[in-house]
Amino acid sequence: MAIWNSFISPTFVFLQAILIVVTVAFVQEYRSEKSLEELSKLVPPECHCVREGRVEHTLARDLVPGDTVCLSVGDRVPADLRLFEAVDLSIDESSLTGETAPCSKSTAPQPAATNGDLTSRSNIAFMGTLVRCGKAKGIVIGTGENSEFGEVFKMMQAEEVRFMLSNLCLLTAACLPFIKAPKTPLQKSMDLLGKQLSLYSFGIIGVIMLVGWLQGKHILDMFTIGVSLAVAAIPEGLPIVVTVTLALGVMRMVKKRAIVKKLPIVETLGCCNVICSDKTGTLTKNEMTVTHIFTSDGQHAEVTGVGYNRFGEVMLDGEIIHGFNNPSISKIVEAGCVCNDALIRNNTLMGKPTEGALIALAMKMGLDGLQEDYVRKAEYPFSSEQKWMAVKCVHRTQQDKPEVCFMKGAYEQVIRYCTSYNCKGQTLPLVQQQREQYQQEKTSMGSAGLRVLALASGPELGQLTFLGLVGIIDPPRTGVKEAVTTLITSGVAIKMITGDSQETAVAIASRLGLYSKNSQAISGEEIDDLDIQQLSQITPKVAVFYRASPRHKLKIIKSLQNNGAVVAMTGDGVNDAVALKAADIGVNYGNSIFRNNN
């Protein structure tokens, strides 16, 4: 009975470990397949194509370079298109860049983009992106794997093949010269332990044979005894113990709502010393929010609260501003609310993020009802060329009175239509001194990483009264700053990688404690000018990588690994997928396209 128990106990543990490993692997592989199916949904099955002068409903897979495609609101772009006709066109390129703010598109010629900066190609509509506003026509210049979207897939497939070959090399112990099988720190430690035990075993055998030979014993008997002792010194149960321990770690992480694909990753996570993180939606909330108001008469107000809801307050010199108790601020809020096409219902935005931020500001002031108080008589839609939007309205209860024009947009454009400015409810002539002051304020807000909008109102375009500026930003997530502080204190370096501008990226990084005076920030264009060895020398000093494409993210990961770092990549979009695959640990948040942990 004792013999049976001694046999069944380790056997049961071994079978249990195998069952856990197989189950976890099966579930995660199934999730991976489902994720790939979700990716295919980013490319539309059908599109509107011009053939022989007629618009036809065509399968997207039948498109060839040279075809003309028509786009309208809600369409997914079926191929890379060079736009030759665009009306108020805005496209959501978050599937490629990770930045959710819609990109305004035009037909104006652009310089050739050699640095992979997709945001600079304003006359190209990329496959898989979504038309948020307007309509357009374009000529197909790239389909399938020859598109920008296809380039991302090819890089992903290359990483997947490398990963599969590496695993095959590990499983078969076939040390192919052209495959360098990556190993986790635990696997490296186990290999080192195996080598040390082997050396000790040979040493034990040699010592016993030497002692036996000196004592005149039979050399073969001494060799047998030495081998027996050496074998007994090897902990044959160690692999089972390690597997069970890692499986328990996976179970604990599941309780924390973290799905782990490979058992050794549990241990690798604890050895991670560099984290590369996407900005939008990972470090930030991905909800544009007004944080600062500057009035034309020189008042500075701060806005609290985050997201598309009414939770927050407008603070001026420590006092809460609500309703119309401050005319200078309420006029700005009124203009931003009325000159707006967005709606917020049940804390859900329907429209552009920037306009949603203005509606949320009005909600905090209790003025969101103004949007329905005015009847719109005419509209001048926003375009990337003019960079402003204006509406002509009349109040529902005062339709016999003259129409009022409200405008919002880039400061440089809005100020051109202004002849006066508002000062504590009075309208005063706009002089050069005021223009210079407003320009300085706009520059100051922009350098702080804020997206700046100017607002004005008046009887006619060209006779507007300048009201002020609002600063908008995608604020950091709650708890991220504390997490960053904990990681840095623990000796983990954090790198922000984003497709956004330098000003915005540095501003967010500074708020989170990732960027200081001694930190560096480099662009995707600068990364292109460096090889892996050169990049490896400067990445330890760089805190922010901006205007980074998927190709740049992959190069950054490789350069850090080249320094011997154990790198974790966090992200939540297709633009992060390649880097997630290449990193030692890929961490994806939420229920987005990739649930991947390498």
CA distances to 46, 82, 136 from 63, rounded to whole Å, are: 10, 14, 17
Q: Where are the domains of the chain?
A: 2-37+181-250, 46-151, 272-284+476-588, 289-473
Q: How far is CA 438 from CA 123, 307, 310, 329, 441, in A?
A: 31, 27, 29, 16, 5
Helix, strand, or coil (residue 206): helix
pLDDT tens column, 45-74: 788 898 878 888 888 888 889 989 999 888
Which pLDDT tens digit goes with each residue over 336-387?
999 998 888 888 888 888 899 999 999 999 988 888 888 888 888 877 677 8
Task: List, in sequence order, every residue forming a beta bridge with 497; answer none if it has no partner.
Answer: 278, 545
Tokens (6 digits) for 91: 């496209």
Distances in Å between the alpha carbon of 580 and those of 33, 147, 213, 597?
A: 16, 21, 59, 8
Confidence of residue 595 (pLDDT cuts 50, 70, 90): very low
Percentage of the chain exceeding pLDDT 70:
81
Q: Is the pLDDT of residue 117 over 50?
A: yes
Q: Assess whether 278 carries a catalytic annotation.
A: yes
Cβ atoms of 485 and 516 within 8 Å: the answer is: no
Coil vs helix vs strand at 345: strand
Whether the Cβ atoms of residue 563 and residue 495 lie closer than 8 Å to each other: no
Grade residue 40 by pLDDT with cuts at 50, 70 and 90. Answer: low
CA distance linking residue 538 with residue 316, whole number of Å: 43
**Orientation of helix 502-512 relative to helix 480-489, angle to 10°:** 70
pLDDT of residue 53: 80
Tokens found for residue 336: 């931003």
Contact 420, 427 (CB under 8 A): yes
3-state secondary structure of 584: coil
pLDDT of amino acid 20: 63
Task: Give residue 42's pLDDT band: very low, low, confident or very high (50, 70, 90).
Answer: low
272-284+476-588 — its CATH code? 3.40.50.1000
Burial 504-517 (b: 16+ CB within 10 A, else e): bbbbbbbbbebbee
Of 44 and 516, more confident: 516
Q: Does residue 571 surpass a pLDDT of 90?
A: no
Q: What is the pLDDT of residues 475-502, one digit of tens each?
A: 888 888 898 999 899 889 999 998 888 8
pLDDT value for 147: 82
What the block records as the tokens of 183 is 């190993």
Out of 27-41, 129-143, 407-421, which region has the weakest mean confidence (pLDDT)?
A: 27-41
Q: What pLDDT is stored for residue 173 in this prediction? A: 44
Torsion (CA) 484, 487, 488, 494 in degrees, nearest 10: -70
| Average pLDDT score over the chain | 80
Measure the CA–CA gap between 294 and 299, rounded to whole angstroms: 6
Report the top-level CATH class of 289-473.
alpha beta
**pTM, rounded to two decimals:** 0.71
Which range, 180-189, 359-368, 572-581, is most confident?
359-368
Going 380 to 381 to 386 to 392, the CA torsion angle's sign is positive
User: What confidence score (pLDDT) does residue 4 get?
Assistant: 46
H or E stretch at 512: helix 502-512
Q: What is the pLDDT of residue 172?
A: 46
Q: How many CB atoms lie within 10 A of CB 207?
A: 13
pLDDT in the model for residue 596:
40
Q: Is the pLDDT of residue 22 over 70?
A: no
* The predicted structure's pLDDT at residue 120: 67
Percent of the chain with pLDDT over 90: 22
> How does pLDDT run across 133-183, given as a tens digit for each residue?
788 999 999 887 788 877 777 776 666 656 555 555 554 444 444 444 556
Q: How far is CA 60 from CA 93, 212, 508, 582, in A?
A: 19, 81, 39, 31
pLDDT of 190: 76
Q: Do 338 and 391 touch, CB atoms closer than 8 A? A: yes
Which residues in 179-203 are b (16+ Cβ under 10 Å) and which e?
eebbbbebbeebeeeeeeeeeebee
What pLDDT was estimated at residue 593? 41
Non-local (6+) Cβ contacts of 492 within 8 A are: 272, 273, 274, 275
Q: Would you state the pLDDT for residue 419?
A: 92
Whether pLDDT at 75 is above 70: yes
Which one, of 481, 555, 100, lies nearest residue 542 by Cα?
555
- SS3 string, 529-557, reads CCCHHHHHHHHHHEEEEECCCHHHHHHHH
- pLDDT-derived band at 557 (thresholds 50, 70, 90) equals very high
Which ranges of 299-407 does DSSP label H, i.e. alpha helix? 327-338, 353-365, 370-373
Enter the tokens of residue 334: 């009124």
10 pLDDT band, cuts 50/70/90, is low
pLDDT tens digits, 496-552: 998 888 888 888 898 888 988 888 999 888 998 888 899 999 998 899 998 888 888
Kindly indicate the confidence band of residue 313, based on its pLDDT and cuts at 50, 70 and 90.
very high
Report the SS3 class of residue 212. Answer: helix
Residue pLDDT, tens place only, 269-295: 777 889 998 887 788 887 889 999 999
Tell me which CATH code domain 46-151 carries: 2.70.150.10
Q: How confident is the model at residue 13 (pLDDT cuts 50, 70, 90)?
A: low
Instruction: Report, as an integer, the average pLDDT of 183-188.
Output: 70
Which tokens sit at 535?
Answer: 């990049």
Catalytic residue among 278, 500, 572, 584: 278
pLDDT in tens, 190-238: 778 778 877 877 787 788 778 887 887 777 777 777 777 777 767 766 7
Residue 126 in contact with residue 93, Cβ under 8 Å? yes
